[in-house]
Structure 1
Amino acid sequence: MVERSTSLKTVDSCQTVANNVQLEMVFAGNVPAGQWMRLRYQTSLYCSAGRLAIRFGADGGEVQAALPAAFFGAGEWLGLVPQGTRRVNIILSDGCAATDFHLASCEVLSFREVVSLARGRSAGKTLLAAGLGAVGLRGDASGILQDVLGATPLERYHEWRALNGRDLDLAGLEAQRDSWRQGPHIRVIVHTIDEKSAEALDTTFASLQRQTYPNWSLTLVGAEMTHRGDRQAFRVEADARAGLLWEGLEASDIVLPVVAGDVVADYAMAALVEFAAGRPDCSMFYADEDSIDARRRHVAPELKPDWSPIFHEARPYVGRAVYFRRRALEAHADRPLAALLRPSAWNALFAAEAGPVGHIRRLLLTKPWKPAETGTPVIVARPTMERATATLIVPTRDRADLLAACLAGLEKTEPRNFDLVIVDNGSKEPATHDLFERVRMHSWARVVDVAGPFNFSALCNRAAELAEGQVLVFLNNDTAAMQPDWLATLVSWAVRPDVGAVGPKLVYPSGRLQHAGLVLGLGGYAAHIDNGAGPEHRGYLDRFTVPHEVSAVTGACLAVEKGKFDAIGGFDAKRYPIELGDVDLCLRLRQRGWKTVFTPYAVLKHHESATRGRSNVAKRYAKERRHFLESWKDAVLDDPFFHPALSLTARRTRLDH
């Protein structure tokens, strides 16, 4: 490997980066185009973590890659610089200033050195990559190597945390801020939820004494609390009124509850204050957390999505790293203190919050591990079943066997408040036309002929113009409903005023998972997370067991109110004739304030691309992918419902790098 001397300069203006800081890498010599490059860098732990981007500019355009979020302060990226690259820019995450980033080193590695690094993670995939590289298929080889080097199993979280952590840089990235002189006061409330040893209490108090933010005070709940420290503590009895906890605070000051035995990260209060300063309209905040077991190993990271009220209602997830401005608690001043200092009470406060809720993407709390907590009960949340009418739209071309299975599922669907539009795109097989004749015998079904090259988006738009239902349900011809109420479930979500697109759980004929929502940026564009997981797989944080917000759902089965669909102009048939049109639709709905929801309570079987085939996907849909990045290059770096510390290269949920 060769160390490359580099410096950074701020780019004053960039139309594509919104409010994010863009830094240009200035090399001493030529840009290492066509070579492997490794960057090591640090970001301030006072900034909420987010993925960074590296963009390679050439005469023919720009190529983008995501950089790990440096969740514990240190990050590393290893990748191939595209041929023809003339400039390299680093885009910082939202809210981070140039002074919050430090490029520690830049190295150029040989292909042999990269293979050696990858071999320790996956010998089989590395051998395949080496073979592809030997026969000149460098692009395929580099893709495999980057996948291998870009993900760590969740089971190795302890090692991953240690590898990506660093000491606080109190003279640099974590220096005290001048703004703290007028910063909010934090009232720390230490309380117990069960018997705690003196050692556990001392652990909590020691972590509080290490805080870099100075403006805080301490309140102890319960007579059994014994505090040994320099900071004076105010004590209240457990049966007192809750208002005593925040007495003397201003409305925007912050209450920070801590369970005795928990460890508050050294930078936690500073990160909280910095985050809250940029969000004066937020009254409630939560952060990420993990646990530490009896062997002193960090386990069970809870890397939470940004505020997801549907998910929280179904499976409360905010945990113990929660924070409240005084104004959020005023209505509860006369409640018994003990009743308010419970996780169930915190969950209820978040669930009832009508305003914005802030998620600090940093690990601010570590709690003692309890094996019993792995069995978190799931609350089944189902919206009221609506009687709105629906129009089912099924584009098709031949494959009568698949379409017949799809129609058989529709025959069993209840209630039958829907009509069906089959859009035939040039079917030629006699069996298909025989099936069409049988379909036309039903008063609730019709077949519309649309000639021309296969354009899924255009076919769907044409059928939507003819639709009579309040809700449109776009359905692939290779899907089959597995329960009678699947449609009623989708419709009940689609008619909610805050919801745009809705998608069900899709499984392969084998029963393995095919779709439970798409993740932006996965695989470079958008893809199904945990594709191929077994039927028993619950998903990270149990997300596959309950309805929850996602950034996009697949067009293989997608429900949306016709009025909302028409309001955004339907599918973009020109830019996305086949691939990524569903993701683009969901993102444009989001721009109008309508969220996308996945529900596991509707399940369909899906053969996936059985009609069109799956060969040469990247080459066949190169134009769609180029258009997608032109429109959504910032969105693919920051899926709000997929934590930035999770990998975008692995199709199963893994840690990034």
Structure 2
Amino acid sequence: MSSSGRRPAPARAADAAEPGLRVGLTIKGLRAALRRIATGQGSLGPFGGTPDFAGRVAGITGARCENLTVSGRGRVVLAPGARIGFGIKPYLAASALSVQVVLDIEAETVNGPPWLAVDYGAGFAPEHTVPLRRPDAGTRWTLHVPLPQFVRGLRLEFHNQIVGPATIHACLVQRSDLRDLLDHLFRLPAPERQRLTGAKVAGVLAALEDRRDAVAEDAAAERPQSALAAAIGCGLLADHAQSAPSDPRYVGVVERDDRLGEADRAWMDGRMAAFAERPLLSVVMPVYDPPLDLLEEAIRSLQRQTYPHWELCLADDASRDFAVRDVVRRLAAEDPRIRPVFRETNGHISQASNAAAALARGRFLVLMDNDDLLPDHALWTVADAIDRHPGCRMLFSDEDKINLEGRRAQPYRKGAFDRFLMYGHNMFSHLGVYERALFEAVGGFRVGYEGSQDYDLALRCMERCAEAEIVHIPHVLYRWRQLPGSTALGGGQKSYAFAAAKRAIDSHFERMGYPLESIDGPGPGIAAVRTLGVADPKRISVVIPTRNGLDLLRPCIESLLAVGDPLVEIVVVDNFSDDPGTLAYLDGLRRDRARITVVRSETAFNFPHLCNLGVARARGEIVCLLNNDTEVLSQDLFQRARAFLSIPDVGAVGARLLYPHGAVQHFGVYTGVGPYGIATHAHAGRADDAHVQFSKSVLLQQFVAVTAACCFLRKADYEAVGGMDEAFAVAYNDVDLCLKLRQRGLKVICDPGIRLVHKESVSRGRDVDPTKVVRLRREAELMEARWGREGLRDPFYNPAFSARSGDFELAEFPRVAIPWKDPAGLAEVRPEAPPEIEVAYEPASEGRAGL
């Protein structure tokens, strides 16, 4: 992912007091600010219950704040991307085996926990960034950090979870209380305690072994014992994350939805009797030295399935523990649906999975690991989806994580299948279901891709399927077990698996003839896409509507010319500018005939009309609709656009737009949600480096629409759909354009590697001018009349999320029926009313996109 190019200049010292940004705040300044907070509040915070804790800063050094403003009476305001970085006092780091970071913060807006990033010497990285825990419903958040003597720095990150006005009552580091560390462990039943401690010891030993080899090969390592200790510390920190508390709302939803009453079971039996067929589902399970209790739990979860037509095809890959075979033989003797094969030699997971699949008699294969769990209704729901989608060949569901204590967390609520998102991570994954004939046609699992063998399988299978043959089941049907060393704990747990994933993606690119290459992404376990040059690069015409606004237009044009692409022309569509400076600048541009064309329009402002006028004058095969208040950050934006638009079914390529202070302004559009249920920007206001929804906030992917503030598309496709509809003078014209492209079978993608600054105001706030509200309401009504609610339904935004916004807030009830629940037994679902529309963040010029 390219991030080169011009970036907004950092704030000067003189700017530090301006609203929205505060940099360089020292530990002395932070301490003084917190003391003012305590004095100004006139009361003590809930932390600690003693006056000593009010506004307390202790155990930290070298504090530095970003995007944090200290306002009147000592309160603070957290802007998107707010951070507090600091070190641990040397005496504390040297004398403690583990330290506890404590943050006591009272805020008006708390959408989730703050996170702590730990630098063990390799810098701050997502794999070493974990959420703080809140012991109760109060304002105190904590996290234990092992081996502080090897910690180079800590950083509290608020992302978009805690924003706006807040009061920090305490920010401190103290020695960990062993009672706090061990209390939870001692409350576990003896068998669970033994299993948990054994797993942790095994994980530490594995980390030691892996790191020992790496350090032995590193002749430049000056302190190998430090590297070993740091590796253990990182492992313990990642392991600690698995015990982080679940979202209470999610826990409540799954407990309600997964509980099956007699009425639900009767409903499922009646529905199953109406299936056109009741396919045999062959569960494929490779087995190699699993914990015996977890293996038995996995198989018992199959035996509890409400759908009876299944078989377990199990291949033991020559487990070293002979007790594994004994358990498998015993369970197979009890249940004839369990069909095992015992391999004589260990061939690793691909060969073992193929051996299990060779036993299958069913029309569909269901992939399951030997220590994971399925809810009781999982296979029934798969069969129901097969019945509702005749001709389907691949199916996949949502998933979550379950730790050794049985706590469920981190649900991955997915969207429709998206091969472009697959280039970042395996969004198919669990629960993965394949037509057996398709599996056999591609040759099953490939040896050499172990660790990402299922990723490689999904990529090869999807190449042989029409998009309608790949079905997403928008319900959590798989519980992925979190074990030390498992990728369920984090993408950085198995580096060999990620290397295999990139090879699988590159192999797919080669088969498809795409000018793309898989590279390391912005976090562990996720990939990015490097674009390669195309054989026949197309001319690109950049169309920029504008009116006056010389202070915006000039840097926009200069940033484009600085890229120096000889196959790029700029078409400026001037909407009746009357500012003398702007007119003189436009006259100067007209003299650069080889690169720039200036078109004059003296009509009332209508954004689609200006774009249509500019595209009509464009000479390029590719057009880029661009706002005049943007500046280029990535110097390879034109190469990237050409590469993606060389793929025949890609119709539009959108960009990642950032506010001048660095937060995300735009990264795709979700439709059917937000104001009036029409559309809303995805990830708006988040920190640029925030990883949300399993890093979907930073990955290449499809959307229903992207903003015309920066959008690349073929001129022929633009003209084929009639261009932009001038009935949408300001709002939704870009959404309408993208929907028309999708109607022709073309895909709309958003590329995080195409990066620009978009200077649309982030601080202006709400503008409720009645005329503009009426206009937006009218255009929203036109969108609904044209496309209908079903046409606006976004397949990439999971129906479990609330329709009130695009912020992935879990709704009380999903926006689709729960197939395994008796409809008569469900509480009445009251659809959420979309919020009243408000004109917000009005641009500095009329040359703007429609959303």
TM-score, normalised on structure 1?
0.71
> Is 1:483 aligned with 2:652?
no
Matches of 1:517 and 1:452, distance apart in 2: 30
Aligned to 1:167: 260
248, 251, 271: which one pairs with 1:158? 251
Aligned to 1:516: 667
Conserved 8 A contact 1:291-1:298: yes
Aligned to 2:335: 231
Aligned to 1:625: 780
Which letter maps to 1:359?
H
Conserved 8 A contact 1:544-1:600: no
Matches of 1:124 and 1:309, distance apart in 2: 35
1:377 positional shift: 1.6
Larger Rg computed on CA atoms: 2
1:526 positional shift: 0.5
450, 455, 464: which one pairs with 2:601? 450
Matched residue count: 506
422, 428, 439: which one pairs with 2:572? 422
Which letter maps to 1:424?
D
Aligned to 1:191: 286
Larger RCO: Structure 1 or Structure 2 (Cα < 8 Å, ≥ 6 residues apart)? 1
Conserved 8 A contact 1:478-1:609: no
1:493 positional shift: 1.8
RMSD of the TM alignment (CA)? 2.9
Going from structure 1 to structure 2, the CA distance change for 1:431 and 1:283 (only over 3 Å counts) comes to: same
Matches of 1:556 and 1:639, distance apart in 2: 21
Matches of 1:396 and 1:461, distance apart in 2: 14
Any residues of structure 2 matched to 1:255-654 within 5 Å, and which?
255-331=365-441, 342-350=453-461, 352-355=463-466, 356-370=469-483, 372-375=489-492, 376-386=524-534, 387-443=537-593, 444-523=595-674, 524-574=677-727, 576-608=728-760, 615-616=767-768, 617-635=772-790, 638-654=793-809
Greater helix fraction, Structure 1 or Structure 2: 2
Matches of 1:374 and 1:537, distance apart in 2: 16
Per-residue CA deviation, residues 584-617 of structure 1 (Å, 9 max, x unaligned), is 100110000000000010100102279x997235
1:562 positional shift: 0.4
Which letter maps to 1:403?
L
Per-residue CA deviation, residues 291-315 of structure 1 (Å, 9 max, x unaligned), is 1123422111111221101111232
195, 217, 229: which one pairs with 2:311? 217
Aligned to 2:297: 203
Conserved 8 A contact 1:460-1:474: yes
Aligned to 1:149: none
> Is 1:178 aligned with 2:273?
yes
1:643 positional shift: 1.1
Aligned to 1:117: none
Conserved 8 A contact 1:388-1:491: yes
Matches of 1:122 and 1:609, distance apart in 2: 24
Secondary structure of 2:295 counterpart: helix
Conserved 8 A contact 2:445-2:454: no
Conserved 8 A contact 1:548-1:598: yes
Q: Which runs of 5+ in 1 are unaligned?
A: 1-120, 126-152
> Which one is further off, 564-573 or 292-301?
292-301
Q: Which runs of 5+ in 2 are unaligned?
A: 1-105, 111-245, 319-323, 493-523, 813-851
Matches of 1:449 and 1:428, distance apart in 2: 12
Which letter maps to 2:490?
E
Per-residue CA deviation, residues 374-401 of structure 1 (Å, 9 max, x unaligned), is 5442222234334210111111111110
Matches of 2:572 and 2:276, distance apart in 1: 66
Any residues of structure 2 matched to 1:128-167 within 5 Å, and which?
156-167=249-260
Matches of 2:765 and 2:444, distance apart in 1: 64
Conserved 8 A contact 2:545-2:575: yes
Conserved 8 A contact 1:589-1:595: yes
Matches of 1:546 and 1:559, distance apart in 2: 18
Per-residue CA deviation, residues 302-359 of structure 1 (Å, 9 max, x unaligned), is 1122110111123222123111111012235586899789434434444544433221
Secondary structure of 1:380 counterpart: strand
Conserved 8 A contact 1:256-1:322: yes
Going from structure 1 to structure 2, the CA distance change for 1:560 and 1:532 (only over 3 Å counts) comes to: same
Going from structure 1 to structure 2, the CA distance change for 1:614 and 1:567 (only over 3 Å counts) comes to: farther
Conserved 8 A contact 1:154-1:655: no
Matches of 1:641 and 1:345, distance apart in 2: 22
Secondary structure of 1:360 counterpart: strand
Secondary structure of 1:505 counterpart: strand
> Which one is further off, 545-554 or 353-362?
353-362
Going from structure 1 to structure 2, the CA distance change for 1:546 and 1:338 (only over 3 Å counts) comes to: closer
Secondary structure of 1:412 counterpart: helix
1:556 positional shift: 0.6
Matches of 1:613 and 1:450, distance apart in 2: 31
Secondary structure of 1:487 counterpart: helix
Matches of 1:166 and 1:433, distance apart in 2: 69
> Which one is further off, 311-320 or 201-210?
311-320
Secondary structure of 1:599 counterpart: strand
Going from structure 1 to structure 2, the CA distance change for 1:395 and 1:161 (only over 3 Å counts) comes to: same
Matches of 1:352 and 1:212, distance apart in 2: 33
Matches of 2:751 and 2:553, distance apart in 1: 24
Per-residue CA deviation, residues 617-638 of structure 1 (Å, 9 max, x unaligned), is 5333121111011122324663
> Which one is further off, 270-279 or 584-593?
270-279
Per-residue CA deviation, residues 132-171 of structure 1 (Å, 9 max, x unaligned), is xxxxxxxxxxxxxxxxxxxxx9685334433555424345
Which letter maps to 1:409?
S
TM-score, normalised on structure 2?
0.56
Matches of 1:463 and 1:332, distance apart in 2: 47
Which letter maps to 2:279?
P
Conserved 8 A contact 2:445-2:457: no
Going from structure 1 to structure 2, the CA distance change for 1:242 and 1:377 (only over 3 Å counts) comes to: closer
Secondary structure of 1:431 counterpart: helix
> Which one is further off, 350-359 or 622-631?
350-359
1:520 positional shift: 0.7
Matches of 1:343 and 1:242, distance apart in 2: 10
1:286 positional shift: 1.2
Matches of 2:691 and 2:766, distance apart in 1: 28
Conserved 8 A contact 1:242-1:340: no
Matches of 1:388 and 1:496, distance apart in 2: 13
Matches of 2:553 and 2:472, distance apart in 1: 45
Secondary structure of 1:415 counterpart: coil
Matches of 2:647 and 2:313, distance apart in 1: 43
Secondary structure of 1:540 counterpart: coil
Which letter maps to 2:280?
H
Which letter maps to 1:260?
N
